[in-house]
Chains A and B, each alone.
Chain A
Amino acid sequence: MNMAQQPIAATGAGADDIKIRMSELSKVFETRKGPFVAIDQLSLEIPQGCFFMIVGPSGCGKTTLLRILAGLESQSSGELIINQPKTSQRPGNSMVFQGDSLFPWMSVFDNAAYGLRMRRRPVAEINEIVGHYLARTGLRKFRDSYPHQLSGGMRQRVSIARAFANDPDILLMDEPFSALDEQNKLLLQEELLKIWEETRKTVMFITHSVDEAVTLGDRILVMSAHPGRAKSIVDVPFARPRSVLELRARPEYGEFVYHIWGHLRDEVDRARALDEASAS
C-alpha cells in the first residue's frame, strides 16, 4: 500500500511544512476498451494544515485521486509522499465518502464510533469523543437512530462526525455536501469551518461547486478532464475565520468566483465537446 511509504527527510527551508507531495502521479485503469487515463502526471504540494480544494468537471479523476491518497487504490506511476511523523498515534487519513456510506446496520453512534472501535480505543474515550462530535453536528438526540430513519443531510453529518471522531492526520472529503439542498449545505459548511478551526487539520476537499471551493478553501486545484490534469492552482485570499454568508456578501467574493470560473469554463466546454464527439 502506498500509504506505507516512508516520510521523506526534510530538505531545505519549509519542506517540513509540506504534508502531501505528489510528483507526476498517474492512474491508468485497464478497461475492456483498453487503458483509460484517469489522472495524468499530477504534481502537487499541499502544506500542513491547508484546506485544499479540488474542483473539476465530473469524471476528471477527483475521486480516484482521493482514493489513491486514502490507500484504497494505488497509482500507476509517479510518486506520492505523505509526511506523517513516525511517532504519530493518529490514523493517516479518514474519508468522508461520496454518497451514502453509513453502515445501515449500525446506529448513528456506532457508525460515528467506527474508527475508534476498530482501533480499540477505551470505551470511555470513545463515548467522550463521539458524544462531542455528535453534539457538534447536532445529532445528539439521534444517537440511537438508524441511518434509514434520518434525512440525507443528517446522514451526511454522521459521516462527517465519523471522520472527525477518528482524529486523522488528514481529512479526505469527497463531495460531502453535493446531494444536499442549499440551506442544509450552508449550515453544514458553516459548521465544518467551525470544527476545522478547532483542529486545523490538513483537508482535501472535492467539490464541483466553485462557490463551495472559494468559501471553504485556502487553495484551489482546478482540474481538467480527460485525462485528469492540474489546470491551475489558485490561492484563496480571504482571511479566517470565515463566515459563509458574510463572505458571500462581499463584492471581492463574487469577483474571485468569477475568476475561478474562467479557469473552469474552458474545461467544462472541452469535456462537453469530448462527450459529444464520443457519443456521435
Chain B
Amino acid sequence: MSVASPSSSALFKLLKGKRELILNIISPLLMLLAWEIAAQMGWIDVRFFPAPSKIFNTLLKLIESGALWRHLSASMQRLFWGFLFGGIPALLLGIAMGLNRTFRAVLDPIVSATYPIPKSAILPLILLIFGLGEASKIVMVAVGIFYPILINTVAGVLEINAIYFDVSRNFGARGWQVFRTVAFPGALPLIMTGIKLGVGMGLILISLAEMVGAKSGLGYMMWNAWEILSVETMYVGLLVIAALGIVFTLVLTEIERLIVPWKVTR
C-alpha cells in the first residue's frame, strides 16, 4: 500500500476499520453468486434449488403485496415479547444465583436438569397449555431465550473478581446497590454473549412454533409455501431469517461495543 494514491489510501483506511463488517457482508453474497450460476447452468435441480434471481423476484412480489411485511412483523413481535418475558427473569434470576450461594445450590440442579431438554420437544406441551394463539409462540421464544441468558449471567457474576465486591462493601454499597454497581455491569460481557445465543435460539424456535397452528409469521409463511408447493417462497423465508440472524448479530455486537467499552476486542 506504500504507493497508494491519497484517495485510495483514505478508502483503505475507511475499509480497514470495518474489515470484519465487510467480510460479513461479502461472504453470503459470494455464495449466492455461485448458486445462481449453478442453477442457470443446470448443475442443480431447480425444483428444489431455484435460482436466487427467481427467489429474489418472489421476494419482490411478497414485499409488494405486503405479505412479507405482515409475516415479518408478526414474527418480530413474538420475538420481542418472548425476549422480554424470557430474558428479564433470566437476567434477574441469573444475577441472584450468581450472588447467593444458597440460591445457586437450590436452583442449579433444576437448571441443569431442564436445560438439555430440546426446546422443540416441548412445543406440543406448550401448545396444550397455552393454546394455538399468540401466547404459545411467545412462551416458546421465552423458554429458548431464558436458558442461554440465565446460564451466561450466572457465569458472568461468578467470574467477577472478588475484590470488586469487597470494594463495594467497604464503600457502603448494600443490596440493590451491589446489584446495580457491581454484579450487573461486571456480568455484562457474558450477559451479552447470552443475549446473542438467546436471540439465535429465539429465531429457530419462533419459525418452528409458527409452523404449527399459526396464521401469520415467517414460519407460517414457509409452512404454507410447502403446502402450496411454492419453493421460492420457502427460500424467501429462509433468506429473511438468515438476514435477521446476521442483522441481530451485527446490531448486538455494536451495542456490546457501546455498553462494554472496557472489554473492547480489537
Residue of A nearest to B173 (CB): A118
Q: Could you tell me the distance in whole angstroms from the C-beta of A90 to the nearest C-beta in chain B? A: 11
Taking a contact as CB atoms closer than 8 A, the residue among B168, B177, B182, B261 that contacts A146 in the complex is: B261
Q: Could you tell me the distance in whole angstroms from the C-beta of A72 to the nearest C-beta in chain B? A: 5
Whether A99 and B163, one on each chain, are in contact in the complex, defined by CB atoms closer than 8 angstroms, is: yes
Whether B163 and A94, one on each chain, are in contact in the complex, defined by CB atoms closer than 8 angstroms, is: no
Whether B164 and A72, one on each chain, are in contact in the complex, defined by CB atoms closer than 8 angstroms, is: no
Whether B177 and A118, one on each chain, are in contact in the complex, defined by CB atoms closer than 8 angstroms, is: yes
Chain B positions 149-182 with a Cβ under 8 Å from a chain A Cβ? 163-164, 166-174, 177, 181-182
Given contacts A97-B166, A103-B181, A105-B188, contact A114 B171 (CB under 8 A): yes
Cβ contacts under 8 Å, B181 to chain A: 103, 106, 114, 118
Whether A70 and B164, one on each chain, are in contact in the complex, defined by CB atoms closer than 8 angstroms, is: no
Given contacts A118-B177, A146-B261, A148-B262, contact A105 B186 (CB under 8 A): yes
Cβ contacts under 8 Å, A118 to chain B: 168, 171-174, 177, 181
Whether B185 sits at the interface, judged by CB under 8 Å, is yes
Whether B262 and A119, one on each chain, are in contact in the complex, defined by CB atoms closer than 8 angstroms, is: no
Question: In the complex, A106→B260 CA distance in Å?
Answer: 10
Cβ contacts under 8 Å, A114 to chain B: 167-168, 171, 181
Taking a contact as CB atoms closer than 8 A, the residue among B170, B186, B261, B263 that contacts A70 in the complex is: B170
Cβ contacts under 8 Å, B186 to chain A: 103, 105
Question: In the complex, A124→B174 CA distance in Å?
Answer: 23
Cβ contacts under 8 Å, B260 to chain A: 105
Whether A147 and B171, one on each chain, are in contact in the complex, defined by CB atoms closer than 8 angstroms, is: no
- Residue interface bits A57-99, CB-to-B below 8 A is 1, else 0: 0000000000100111000000000000000000101110101
Q: Could you tell me the distance in whole angstroms from the C-beta of B243 to the nearest C-beta in chain A? A: 33
Whether A146 and B262, one on each chain, are in contact in the complex, defined by CB atoms closer than 8 angstroms, is: yes
- Residue interface bits B247-266, CB-to-A below 8 A is 1, else 0: 00000000000001111000
- Residue interface bits A162-197, CB-to-B below 8 A is 1, else 0: 100010000000000000000000000000000000
Taking a contact as CB atoms closer than 8 A, the residue among A71, A103, A148 that contacts B167 in the complex is: A103
Residue of B nearest to A172 (CB): B170
Taking a contact as CB atoms closer than 8 A, the residue among A67, A99, A146, A166 that contacts B171 in the complex is: A166
Question: In the complex, A70→B172 CA distance in Å?
Answer: 11
Cβ contacts under 8 Å, B168 to chain A: 114, 118
Whether A95 and B170, one on each chain, are in contact in the complex, defined by CB atoms closer than 8 angstroms, is: yes
- Residue interface bits A99-127, CB-to-B below 8 A is 1, else 0: 11101111000000011001100000000
Q: Residues of A at under 8 Å CB distance from B? A: 67, 70-72, 91, 93-95, 97, 99-101, 103-106, 114-115, 118-119, 146-148, 162, 166
Q: List 12 A-B contacts (CB under 8 A).
A: A72-B166, A72-B169, A72-B170, A95-B170, A97-B167, A100-B163, A101-B167, A103-B167, A104-B263, A118-B171, A118-B174, A148-B262
Additional pairs, 6, CB under 8 Å, beyond known A97-B163, A105-B186? A95-B166, A97-B166, A99-B163, A101-B166, A103-B164, A103-B181
User: Which 4 pairs between the two chains have the least Cβ-Cβ distance?
Assistant: A105-B185, A115-B171, A104-B262, A118-B172
